[in-house]
Structure 1
Amino acid sequence: MASRRPYWSGYLKLSLVTCPVAMTSATSEAEKVRFHTLNKQTGNRVVSRYVDSVTGKPVKENDEAKGYERAEDDYVILTDKDLESVELETVRTIDIEKFVSRESIEWIYLETPFYLTPNDKIGDEAFAVIRDAMKAENVLGISRVVLGRRERAVVLEPRGKGIVVWTLRFGDEVRPEKDYFKDIDETPDADARTEIERLIEKRTRRWSADMVSDPIQESLLKLIAKKKRALKSSKKPSRPHGGGKGSNVVDIMEALKRSVSKELKSRKSA
């Protein structure tokens, strides 16, 4: 198994069956082009820091705290110790509470995917039992887990030898589609629909990750490579006069000098 640092580690639990697991992000933006903010006058990086909004003075990291605004400019300060005191059991355990049919969850509720794998060889069998039982019943598991100090609803989907964990948007985060689609009442022309169906059939392909390549990313990489080449050529040391064979001319002159010097020494000795 590929060695990647897990995003979260804990236990997967279903009734009396428990096993240690690790959760790793299923997506990555590590290959994306990243920019730093620079001072274009000096070429140096610009550093951001927290500043007191009233005094204008920089705030030390040890003096930073979470604050809940109860009135304008009036905050309740919460320390790390305060936040740790409200940790839930789901901080370290994914306890599958219920199951739903695979087709019943609408895609709009799915948010961020993670790969869930056994975190210890001892737990492989228990993990496999839970995974294969869900496959056999064609169901998804519903649970909760704390990620980034926030309890998230998650759905567990068995896939291949592992399980994919999707964080779910809460019900009040998804806007009802009827509020946006209710005024669409046009009935399409039958002939036009037939032509579009033919076009769809003609353009239908098997899914491939190549279908969602990032053209902006590719263009940026080409632009950066071009600028790198320009910088390299501008930094090349100038060659001595004599065209492309300048380095050979220098070598020959040095050899001639050494030869003459050697000959003069031998004459003096004689």
Structure 2
Amino acid sequence: MLSFGLVNVPVALYPATKKKTISFNQLRKSDYSRISYKKVGSDGAEVRQDEIVKGYQISPDRYVVIAKQELDAIAPQASRVISIEDFVKLDQIDPRHYDASYYLVPETGAQKAYALLLQAMGEANVVGIAKFVLRSKEYLAAIRPAEGALTLSTMLFVDEIVPVAALETYLPGSIKLSDKELNMARQLITSLITDFEPGKYENEYHKAVMNLIDSKAKTVIGTKQAEPPGKVIDIMAALEASIAAIKAQEKPKRKKKTG
């Protein structure tokens, strides 16, 4: 539910991005079997799931242990409402705050209210700043019109942004630049200014890795499976059966004794 003022718009949330990542599994070189991981303590002993607790490190080898019940008690209350608290101009938002993006799609019967908010926000050229709770975590979000739909971008809170002042010892500071150097830099930048076309920028490494995988797919390495054990033979039973068969064959050859 998207809420602003006293207006509620039932909406559904859909991912607006799909990251392209390539994952490799780790295999044992000798037989290409998957490597599994165990949770172990500092003594090397395996730890069962029911023996694990959450601890926050406050100094080397010192932890504050927090029980699940304690976290549950202070967890934000689950809510299906995305409440817009303010409207701001887009250029006032530092892009460093943006995180993941989603589409907000109207549910049945909410098309008119959705269209109203979409058009009104577009005409005012504003972004809605909202808060909501998802999976026991509180989020800050920016809601804005884009290509006939409302989008929601989760945002980092201000204390999650590393201030530039924290890097001042690594930055150039007051360096004197000549007019010639500045003019040359300006000319170069001006010559490269163009309209942003996202489709022209491709993930070349991802493409190269997928081409490599495709080229090697003809010689796929499969996990070497151990040969299934053969049927266990009962030696004594086999011997007894063999002797019985021999005796059965010899019986017709024996002559009957006469008195």
- Partner residue, 2:237: none
Give the SS at the match of 1:39. Answer: coil
Map Cα deviations across residues 218-265 of structure 1 (whole Å, 9 max, x no partner). Answer: 221122122223459xxxxxxxxxxxxxxxxxxxxxxxxxxxxxxxxx
Q: Which amino acid aligns with 1:141?
A: G
- Taking a change above 3 Å as real, the CA distance of residues 231 and 90 of structure 1, as seen in their structure-2 partners, is closer
Residues 132-141 or 221-230, more deviating: 221-230
Give the SS at the match of 1:193. Answer: helix
Map Cα deviations across residues 185-238 of structure 1 (whole Å, 9 max, x no partner). Answer: 124222222222222222223222244322221221122122223459xxxxxx
Contact persistence 1:90–1:144 (CA under 8 A): no
- Taking a change above 3 Å as real, the CA distance of residues 64 and 125 of structure 1, as seen in their structure-2 partners, is farther
The answer as to 2:96 corresponding to 1:108 is yes
Q: Tell me the matched-pair count.
A: 216
- Partner residue, 1:14: 4
The 2-side partners of 1:153 and 1:130 are apart by 19
Q: Please point out which of 210, 217, 223 is paired with 1:228.
A: 217
Q: Where does 1:99-178 land on structure 2 (aligned, <5 Å)?
A: 99-118=87-106, 120-178=107-165
- Partner residue, 1:36: 25
Paired-residue identity, %: 23
Map Cα deviations across residues 117-159 of structure 1 (whole Å, 9 max, x no partner). Answer: 21x2211111122222211221111111123421011111121
Q: Bigger radius of gyration, 1 or 2?
A: 2
Contact persistence 1:65–1:78 (CA under 8 A): no
The answer as to 2:210 corresponding to 1:212 is no
The answer as to 2:34 corresponding to 1:45 is yes
The 1-side partners of 2:193 and 2:8 are apart by 44
Give the SS at the match of 1:226. Answer: helix
- Taking a change above 3 Å as real, the CA distance of residues 54 and 124 of structure 1, as seen in their structure-2 partners, is farther
Contact persistence 2:55–2:65 (CA under 8 A): yes
Give the SS at the match of 1:91. Answer: coil
TM superposition shift of 1:50? 3.6
Map Cα deviations across residues 76-110 of structure 1 (whole Å, 9 max, x no partner). Answer: 3114xx65554545631101111111211111122
Contact persistence 1:65–1:77 (CA under 8 A): no
The answer as to 2:46 corresponding to 1:57 is yes
Q: Which amino acid aligns with 1:110?
A: Y
- Taking a change above 3 Å as real, the CA distance of residues 206 and 74 of structure 1, as seen in their structure-2 partners, is closer
The 1-side partners of 2:76 and 2:18 are apart by 28
The 2-side partners of 1:158 and 1:66 are apart by 44
Where structure 1 has 5 or more consecutive residues not aligned to the other structure, the ranges are: 1-10, 233-270
Give the SS at the match of 1:96. Answer: strand
Give the SS at the match of 2:46. Answer: coil
- Say which structure is richer in helix: 1
Q: Which amino acid aligns with 2:110?
A: G
Q: Which amino acid aligns with 2:141?
A: V
- Taking a change above 3 Å as real, the CA distance of residues 76 and 32 of structure 1, as seen in their structure-2 partners, is closer
Contact persistence 1:108–1:174 (CA under 8 A): yes
- Partner residue, 2:83: 95
The 1-side partners of 2:57 and 2:194 are apart by 55
The 2-side partners of 1:85 and 1:148 are apart by 14
Q: Which has the higher contact order (CA 8 A, sep 6+)?
A: 2
Contact persistence 2:78–2:135 (CA under 8 A): no
Q: Which amino acid aligns with 2:100?
A: T
Contact persistence 1:98–1:143 (CA under 8 A): yes
- CA RMSD between the two structures: 2.8
